[in-house]
Structure 1
Amino acid sequence: MASTTGWSALLLGSNGLRSAALAGGVALHAINVYLVTTLLPSVVADIGGLDYYAWNTTLFVVASIIGSVLSTRALALLGPKAAYSLAGLLFMLGCALCALAPEMAWLILGRSVQGLGGGLLFALPYAMIRLVFAEPLWPRAMALISAMWGVATLIGPAVGGVFAEHGAWRAAFWVLLPCTLLFMLLALALLPGKRREAAPHSPIPARQLVLLTAMVLAISIGSITPSLVYNVLGLGVGLALLAWVIALENRSVQRLLPRDSLKSGSALLALYGSMALLVVGMTSEVFVPLFLQVLHRQTPLLAGYIAALMAAGWTLGAIFSSGLKPQGAARAIAAGPFLVVGGLLLACLFMPATATPALSLGLVCLAMLAVGVGIGLAWPHLLSRVLEQAPADQKELAGASITTVQLVATALGAALAGMIVNLAGLGSTGGSVGAAQAAGWLFGLYAGLSALLFISLRQVRRSNAQPLVEA
């Protein structure tokens, strides 16, 4: 049995090369996320565009959402080999545009193209597992692909930090081109050219995707200037568009989420709301490398790794929590908000504080780790309960909805973070004074927003005792 279901069956021989091709796609997407987070302060110092700092994340993630949603259609129309190649070509084009960027607008365009390819690279491997491997290997293949995010927290900041410290941020994007080409060649050589079975027709919820994109753009555009009027207007338009998306989801046949997910009192609504709040709190890490370099005089390499402590904490918390029995899982979910809110408050107090550098930096590291662990403790159990609470005929959509909610919350959180730091004077005041004000406001407001987890997770625990939703 071990010979057909063990790790050796997945990682050796032709299966090992197929595993490298699929896991490599997710690894490229994930490493790129942490690489760019580490590089951005150096990029801004070179080509300017501090007011558009968060746009690099928001538009990248919005494009990733579109790529992720389109992945099943690309797989059905093109087959695994061509779909993976298309994803790689888009990702390489985005990398080249970023490397050549003379100004921030060009870089943001490159990040958008990169995000579209990255979304495909992120989603396609999960969909391909059942086409490439025998069924006994599916669980291990899923685990291998998911583990790439942990690998990315080690590689991404290292690559970005080394290039940033040598003043060669453009070279970091060029390096991704041959890496992507290698995985494309593996895909062309080893993946099937066509599906083995007819793909079911899965309509794309185009209206919701357009409105979600417009929502993030409205908030981002409103945050370009430090004017409170424009920021409030952008936020208001964004919230109105979000309400429109919710209305469409409640009555449309083409949905991003299982039916009735967003109706008042729904168990899934509490779950999705909790997931979104956890992810939004984590998006504060977008500005952590910048704050650490400006306020604490840290090198790009070290600043990147400190920012990655959130993701590392998430992984550690999830590993510890995933094996807990029901009572332990309930305690883990309850502990999550305390760690997230406490970590953000700690960052609010000590990220701007530089009077005692060693102590402040140590407490910032502790804050990043606490936020990540808090998310990781609750995350696996929220995901499993999404699948439990979804109607029987909506399980596949429920699984896909997890990635959708995570990406939408990341884009929204990054856009809100950009609005907060610009209003707080990051660009207008400038220097360490502006950065200190921005850090205090960002982490303080996100701690307040994350406090809503105490309400949403209480509803999650309450709904878990109720009967599961019927089809």
Structure 2
Amino acid sequence: MASTTGWSALLSGRNGLRSAALAGGVALHAINVYLVTTLLPSVVKDIGGLDYYAWNTTLFVVASIIGSVLSTRVLAKLGPKLAYALAALVFMLGCGLCGLAQDMAWLIAGRSVQGLGGGLLFALPYAMIRLVFQEPLWPRAMALISAMWGAATLIGPAVGGVFAEHGAWRAAFWVLIPCTLLFMLLAMALLPGQRQEPAARSPIPGLQLVLLTVTVLAISIGSISTSVLYNAVGLGVGLGLLAWVGVLENRSAQRLLPRGSLASGSALAALYLSMALLVVGMTSEVFVPLFLQVLHQQTPLLAGYIAALMAAGWTLGALFSSGRSPQGAARAVACGPFMVVAGLLLAFWAMPAATSLVSLGAICLAMVSVGVGIGLAWPHLLSQVLERAPEDQKELAGASITTVQLVATALGAALAGMIVNLAGLGLGAGSDGAAQAARWLFGLYAGLSLLLFVSVRQAQRQPAAVPSV
């Protein structure tokens, strides 16, 4: 049994080549995320746009959502080889636009194009896992893809930090272009030209995509102002539109999620909510490099690496947790919320504290704790999504994983931008405003993450069957 379900079965022979091809696209997307996170404080110093700091993440992720939703259609239409080629070409175009940016609006436009290509690169592997691997290998394949975020924590901050410290942040985007071209050539050589099984033609849920985009924009636009009323209106409009998306998902034949996902008593609903809450907690890392540079006088390189500890912890947790017995998996999922909340509370105390080895060590521990908590639960939540989806909705279930993750990332980043601007960061990046913003951001996100204890327990209690509608 070990020979067919262990790491050797996934990483050797034909499975090894497939794993390399699927993991490579996620690695590119993840490296870009941490590269830009590390660069952004330096970019703002050069071209301005502090009030729009979080927009680089929110609009990037909104475009990624569109790319991820289109992934199954692109895969069905073009096949794996050409689908990856298209994704890489769009991603390279976005890198070029970012490298040429003269102001924040230009940079955000380039990031949006990057996000579209990155969403395809990120989602295609999830859509293909069930097609190229046997079911016993799914958890390890999920963990391998998650491990690419760990590789990104080593490469992304290094590239971004070195270029930022030398005042050449534009060159970091140009470096991504030949790397992406190399991946594209490898993927086209390793992946099959066409799918091995016919794909059902599923309509694109265009209205839901538009509403999700407007949802994130409404919250982001509200965050520009320091007026509580203005922010409340933006948040209220965003939540109202999000509720409308939920109604459409229950009624429409064109869905982002598998049939019955949001029905009363659905196990999938609890699973998706748990995934979303885990990801929202992690979006606090968007501002970590800025906080570290302003409050603790860290270099861009070190600030980027400390922020990336959250993703490194995610990788460690996922690798440790994958392959566990059903009882071990249940314990890992139950432990996840404790570590996430504990990490956010530790950051709430340590980030605004006076600079010392103790406070910096506590910040590092906080980042790792949040990441490990997510990683412990993540592979098992994802595998349960695939297992509990209706049989004829398995492919949509695979694509829905990235849809939920990216929607939660966009909403979390937009909400984080709103919180820090209201707390005083938008008035300037001084230490007082940054300290206040850090307290509010980590404190509120720790409180929000308490809902994980409810959602995770609900997901584990539900039967495997998904109600039909």
Structure 1 length-normalised TM: 0.91
2:375 aligns to what?
376
Q: Which residue in 2 is equivalent to 1:416?
A: 415
Alignment check: 8 A CA contact 1:21 1:184 kept: no
Q: Equivalent residue for 1:183?
A: 183
1:26-69: CA deviations, max 9, x gaps? 22111101111111111111111111111111111111111111
Q: Deviations over 1:280-304 (max 9, x none)?
A: 0000001001100110011111111
Pair 1:147-2:147 in alignment: yes
Q: Are the counterparts in 2 of residues 62 and 411 from structure 1 also a CA contact under 8 Å? A: yes
Answer yes or no: is the 8 Å Cα contact 1:388–1:468 preserved in 2: no
Alpha carbons of 1:443 and 1:470: their partners in 2 closer, same or farther (altered >3 Å)? closer
- Structure 1 residue 266: Cα displacement: 2.3
Alpha-carbon distance, 1:389 to partner: 3.0
Q: How many Å apart are 1:319 and its aligned residue?
A: 2.0
Cα distance change on mapping 1:182 and 1:329 into 2, 3 Å: closer
For the 8 Å contact 2:284–2:416, the answer to whether it is kept is yes
Measured on the aligned residues, the alpha-carbon RMSD in Å equals 2.5
The answer to whether the 8 Å contact 1:5/1:137 transfers is: no
Q: What's 1:390 paired with? A: 389
Residue 327 (structure 1) aligned with residue 327 (structure 2): yes
> How far, CA to CA, are the matches of 1:340 and 1:135 in structure 2?
32
CA contact (8 A) 1:79 1:193 kept: yes
Matched, 1:281 2:285: no
Cα distance change, pair 410–117 in 1 and its aligned pair in 2 (3 A): same
Check whether the contact 1:88–1:184 (CA below 8 A) recurs between aligned residues. yes
Match of 2:203? Answer: 203
Partner residue of 2:54? 54
- Within 5 Å, give how 1:126-165 maps onto structure 2: 126-127=126-127, 145-165=145-165
Alpha-carbon shift at residue 89 of structure 1 (Å): 1.5
User: Which whole-Å deviations, capped at 9, do the CAs of 1:361-382 have from their partners, x for residues lacking one?
Assistant: 1111111111111112222222
Structure 1 counterpart of 2:425, one-letter code: L
1:9 maps onto 2:13 in alignment = yes
Q: Distance in 2 between matches of 1:197 and 1:329?
A: 31
The CA distance in 2 between the partners of 1:437 and 1:255, in whole Å, is: 41
Name which of structure 1's ranges 202-211 and 19-28 shifts more when overlaid on structure 2: 19-28
Q: Is the 8 A contact 1:383 1:402 kept in 2?
A: yes
Deviation at 1:318, TM superposition (A): 1.9
Residue matched to 1:167? 167
TM-aligned CA distance change 1:63 to 1:362, over 3 Å = same
CA distance in 2, matches of 1:456, 1:126: 23
Distance in 2 between residues matched to 1:21 and 1:327, nearest whole Å? 32
Q: Tell whether the 8 Å contact from 2:347 to 2:363 is kept in structure 1 after alignment.
A: yes
Relative to 1, partners in 2 of residues 1:134 and 1:311: Cα closer, same or farther, differing over 3 Å?
closer
- The residue aligned with 2:71 is 71
Query: What do the CA deviations read for 1:227-270 (whole angstroms, capped 9, x no partner)?
Result: 11211111011001001000000111111112222133322222
Tell me the residue number matched to 1:403.
402
Tell me the distance in 2 between the aligned counterparts of 1:395 and 1:134: 14
After TM superposition, the structure 1 = structure 2 runs for residues 59-458 of structure 1, keeping only pairs within 5 Å, are 59-127=59-127, 145-189=145-189, 191-195=191-195, 198-354=198-354, 356-458=355-457
The Cα shift of 1:345 comes to 1.0
Change (3 A) 1:436 1:141: closer
The Cα of 1:323 is off from its aligned counterpart by 3.3
For the residue of structure 1 that corresponds to 2:224, the secondary structure is: coil
Rate the CA distance shift 1:394–1:200 in 2: closer, same or farther, 3 A: closer
Q: Conserved in 2, the CA contact under 8 Å of 1:219 and 1:235?
A: yes
What is the CA–CA distance in structure 1 between the aligned matches of 2:10 and 2:130, rounded to whole Å?
Answer: 17
Offset from partner CA, 1:338-394 (integer Å, 9 cap, x none):
21111111111110111x511111111111111111112222222233233333333
Aligned residues: 462
- The answer as to whether partners of 2:126 and 2:399 remain within 8 angstroms in 1 is no
| Separation in structure 2 between the aligned mates of residue 274 and residue 86 of structure 1, nearest angstrom | 32
One-letter code of the match for 1:58? T
Q: Which amino acid aligns with 2:23?
A: A
- Once the two structures are TM-superposed, the CA of residue 320 in structure 1 deviates from its matched residue by 2.0
**How far apart, CA to CA, are the structure 1 residues paired with 2:241 and 2:407?**
13
- Distance in 2 separating the partners of 1:368 and 1:374: 10
CA distance in 2 between counterparts of 1:141 and 1:307 reads 25
The corresponding residue for 1:460 is 459
What percent of counterpart residues are identical?
80
* Aligned mates of 1:143, 1:77 — CA distance in 2: 28
Distance 1:213 1:426, change over 3 A: same
**For structure 1, which segment, 326-335 or 232-241, has the greater mean C-alpha deviation from structure 2 after superposition?**
326-335
Change (3 A) 1:130 1:274: closer
Mapped to 2, the partners of 1:27 and 1:153 lie a distance apart of: 10
Q: CA 1:339–1:130 in 2, change beyond 3 Å: closer, same or farther?
A: closer
Q: 1:130 deviation in Å? A: 7.8
Preserved CA contact (<8 Å) 2:61 2:410: yes
Q: Structure 2: which amino acid aligns with 1:163? A: F
Equivalent residue of 2:201, what SS? Answer: coil
Q: Give 1:137 shift.
A: 12
Larger mean Cα displacement after TM superposition, 214-223 or 21-30: 21-30
One-letter identity of the residue aligned with 1:63: A
Deviations 1:320-343 (A, max 9, x none): 222333333333223222211111
